[in-house]
Amino acid sequence: MNKTLYPWLGLVGWIILCFAAPAVSASIPPGSWYAGINKPTWNPPGWIFGPVWTFLYVTMAIAAWRVWLKGGFREQRKALGLFLLQLALNAAWTPIFFGAHWLGVAFVEILLLWTAILLTLLAFHKVDKLAAGLLVPYLAWVSFASVLNFTLWRLNA
């Protein structure tokens, strides 16, 4: 394989992998259940989620790619393993919240996700500071989402 092409194919792979997380949950839209539950006044409008998550998944992919470029899975097993863990937790939240309507379980799950993102960010920081920085907006959004998830749970318990 062409050595100059290989890294770019890696980036494409990371982008596909990151967008696989929401693709798994694409068949579970918020729907009428979510429209009918109590929400705080600061609940974001629905249209904001698509652009925000698109940006976040792209930056997550670039961050993972940058770490992967520093020795692949062989040398970055811990950092990339944490990344894959947080991605799996990311994919699991939608079926729990929107699919099963388990707001309390979703809150516990999002706290696990938040922790996994933080650990990933710290592991990435040891390898590539820019990669870690690319995860900061993701951690910020999930921090906000955690507070929102908790609020929705309490309002609808």
Per-residue pLDDT of the chain (157 residues; tens, 9 = 90+): 557 777 889 999 999 999 998 898 878 888 899 999 999 999 999 999 999 999 999 999 999 999 999 999 899 999 999 999 999 999 999 999 999 999 999 999 999 999 999 999 999 999 999 999 999 999 999 999 999 999 999 999 8
- Does residue 124 sit within a domain? yes
* 87-101 b/e (C-beta count within 10 Å ≥ 16 → b): bebbbbbbbbbbbee
DSSP reduced 3-state for 109: helix
The residue with tokens 């929400």 is 39
Number of domains composing the chain? 1
Tokens describing residue 156: 């609808």
- Does residue 42 sit within a domain? no
- Does residue 46 sit within a domain? no
CATH of the domain at 94: 1.20.1260.100
